[in-house]
């Protein structure tokens, strides 16, 4: 009898192992092909994920802008109803329960902006306020919103390929001895950084949110990862570098910025507000000290990584149920994200375009830039504050001065803008909308600290490389 039980147990373990390893290999391969491998498509080198969402943007055209407006307007109405009218305990009330009361007017402001822009591009006779619908405000914001509208559901569909079938466990185990002592985060956070560099910073934020909700990350870890590793993609970095007239120096600019970003992450985790975040999970449970222990590499590390990945893949739910669950989570936050994007993004862009706000801030930091011996300090200083609105604005600000600005000044602006990470036209709004443990004031403080830390670091590389 015992022999029969042992044989049955062995057969079950073998079957579980085969299921786990086949799932791990298959879904990891698909995920790598979608997110990380460049393909030649229509004469262009593109990541498959980027090609898919760009195709959807072009395919839907102006209909996509209408979809955004409907989602934002619906979110404003439902948000007001859920927060102030619906009964406590109802589904609508629970959905908006955690939203601050201040979010409701923000939602309506986003609805106003998006509706005016949609009418502007849809009805020839309609002339909306230039400050709201102009090329530097509403038009710029609509392009970003269109990308985010497709990035979030597509990311929700493909992220389970990494999270649920062992990839994240494999990478996390391998990189734990590096990431934990240096950045005080799990090794699996390296996936966030890689995803961001190769696809989209919004995908990286969504990726972090999913792992936070699944209790892979504590509040502190999620805050650190999303504000430190959700960097601009390499594709968009090329656009930024080219706009600054530095394409001939792409490798120097990109990889020095890459290094600066990791140095900043090392510092930021050790100072407030990130250092004050608690190592508790989303449900309030404490993280055990063992989970924060620093491991070292051994001859068994690779085997442990494979074992962890296979166990996760074998224990995962059926594929379509995982995709459905993830997609529903992504679609649930999409209206809030788009509302924040339009409300905060357009408002900050209006300040940048039509007020001297950022010039005043620039005049304050110009002396500091001069101390770093950066050429043309007074000319470029206002551009650095613009990064809070949209990461492309700093180089756009100097674009018409490329021919006259010193190459060191152009490098300085480009590199700083690429490592600021938090900009409210995209990543900042997504962070606030997805339930991550970050407040608006914290994001502004983190942006300011990152900029102040980045400036001397970038200045060092500037003097070494140019």
> pLDDT band at residue 199, thresholds of 50, 70 and 90?
low
CA trace torsion 78, 80, 85, 86 (10° rounding): 30
Length of the chain: 466
DSSP H or E stretch at residue 39: strand 38-41
Higher-pLDDT residue of 37 and 120 is: 120
* Residue 114 reports pLDDT greater than 90: yes
DSSP 280: B
Q: For residues 262 and 268, what is the distance between their CA atoms, to the nearest angstrom? A: 10
User: What is the structure's pLDDT at 196?
Assistant: 61
User: What is the structure's pLDDT at 251?
Assistant: 83
Nearest to 441 by CA among 276, 194, 196: 276
The CB density around residue 258, as the number of other CB atoms within 10 Å, is: 17
Q: How large is the angle between the packed helices 319-354 and 138-163, nearest 10 degrees?
A: 150
User: What is the structure's pLDDT at 192?
Assistant: 67
Over residues 304-325, mean pLDDT: 88
Report for 20-24, 241-245, 249-253, 348-352: range of highest mean pLDDT: 20-24
DSSP H or E stretch at residue 46: strand 44-47
* Residue 37 reports pLDDT greater than 70: yes
122-129: Cβ within 8 A, 24+ apart: 122/62, 122/65, 122/66
User: What is the structure's pLDDT at 275?
Assistant: 94
* Residue 198 reports pLDDT greater than 60: no
Helix, strand, coil % over all residues of the chain, rounded to 5:
75, 0, 25
Nearest to 457 by CA among 424, 427, 412: 412
Over residues 139-153, mean pLDDT: 86
Nearest to 141 by CA among 113, 166, 169, 167: 113
DSSP H or E stretch at residue 44: strand 44-47
Nearest to 61 by CA among 132, 142, 137, 161: 142
- pLDDT, tens digit, for every residue of 389-421? 878 888 888 887 888 999 999 999 999 999 998
CA–chain centroid gap for 66, Å, is 24
What whole-number percentage of the chain has pLDDT above 90? Answer: 40
The CA distances from residue 11 to 5, 6, 7, in Å, are: 10, 9, 6
Q: Where are the domains of the chain?
A: 18-60+129-466
- Residue where the block lists tokens 């007001």: 80
Asked, as a colleague might, if the bond just before 273 is cis with ω within 30 of 0, I would say yes
- pLDDT, tens digit, for every residue of 3-26? 443 444 455 588 888 989 999 999
The CB density around residue 334, as the number of other CB atoms within 10 Å, is: 22
Could you give phi then psi for residue 184, rounded to 5 degrees?
60, 35
């Amino acid at each position: 009898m015992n022999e029969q039980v042992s044989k049955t147990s062995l057969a079950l373990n073998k079957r579980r192992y085969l299921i786990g390893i086949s799932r791990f290999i298959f879904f990891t391969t698909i995920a790598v092909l979608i997110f990380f491998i460049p393909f030649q498509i229509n004469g262009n080198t593109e990541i498959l994920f980027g090609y898919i969402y760009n195709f959807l943007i072009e395919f839907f055209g102006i209909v996509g802008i209408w979809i955004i407006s409907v989602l934002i307007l619906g979110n404003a109405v439902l948000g007001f109803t859920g927060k102030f009218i619906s009964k406590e305990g109802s589904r609508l009330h629970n959905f908006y329960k955690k939203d601050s009361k201040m979010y409701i007017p923000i939602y309506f402001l986003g609805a106003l902006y998006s509706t005016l822009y949609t009418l502007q591009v849809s009805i020839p006779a309609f002339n909306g306020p230039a400050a709201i619908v102009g090329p530097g405000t509403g038009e710029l914001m609509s392009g970003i919103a269109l990308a985010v509208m497709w990035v979030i559901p597509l990311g929700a569909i493909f992220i389970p390929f990494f999270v649920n079938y062992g990839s994240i466990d494999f990478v996390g185990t391998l990189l734990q001895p590096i990431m934990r002592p240096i950045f005080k985060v799990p090794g699996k956070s390296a996936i966030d950084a890689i995803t961001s560099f190769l696809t989209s910073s919004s995908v990286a934020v969504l990726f972090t949110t999913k792992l936070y909700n699944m209790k892979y990350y504590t509040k502190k870890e999620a805050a650190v990862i999303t504000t430190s590793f959700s960097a601009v993609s390499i594709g968009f970095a090329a656009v930024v570098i080219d706009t600054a007239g530095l394409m001939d120096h792409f490798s120097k600019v990109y990889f020095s910025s890459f290094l600066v970003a990791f140095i900043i992450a090392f510092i930021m985790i050790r100072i407030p507000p990130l250092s004050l975040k608690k190592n508790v999970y989303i449900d309030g449970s404490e993280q055990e000290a063992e989970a924060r222990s620093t491991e070292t590499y051994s001859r068994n590390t690779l085997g442990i990584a494979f074992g962890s990945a296979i166990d996760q893949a074998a224990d995962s739910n059926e594929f379509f149920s995982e995709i459905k669950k993830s997609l529903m989570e992504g679609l649930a936050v999409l209206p809030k994200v788009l509302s924040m994007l339009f409300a905060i993004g357009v408002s900050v862009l209006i300040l940048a375009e039509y007020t001297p706000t950022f010039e005043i801030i620039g005049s304050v930091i110009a002396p500091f830039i001069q101390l770093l011996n950066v050429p043309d300090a007074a000319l470029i200083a206002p551009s650095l504050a613009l990064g809070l609105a949209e990461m492309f604005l700093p180089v756009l600000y100097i674009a018409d001065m490329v021919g006259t600005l010193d190459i060191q000044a152009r490098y300085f602006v480009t590199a700083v803008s690429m490592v600021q990470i938090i900009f409210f036209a995209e990543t900042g709004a997504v962070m606030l909308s997805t339930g991550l443990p970050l407040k608006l004031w914290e994001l502004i403080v983190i942006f300011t600290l990152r900029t102040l830390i980045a400036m001397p670091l970038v200045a060092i590389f500037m003097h070494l490389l140019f």
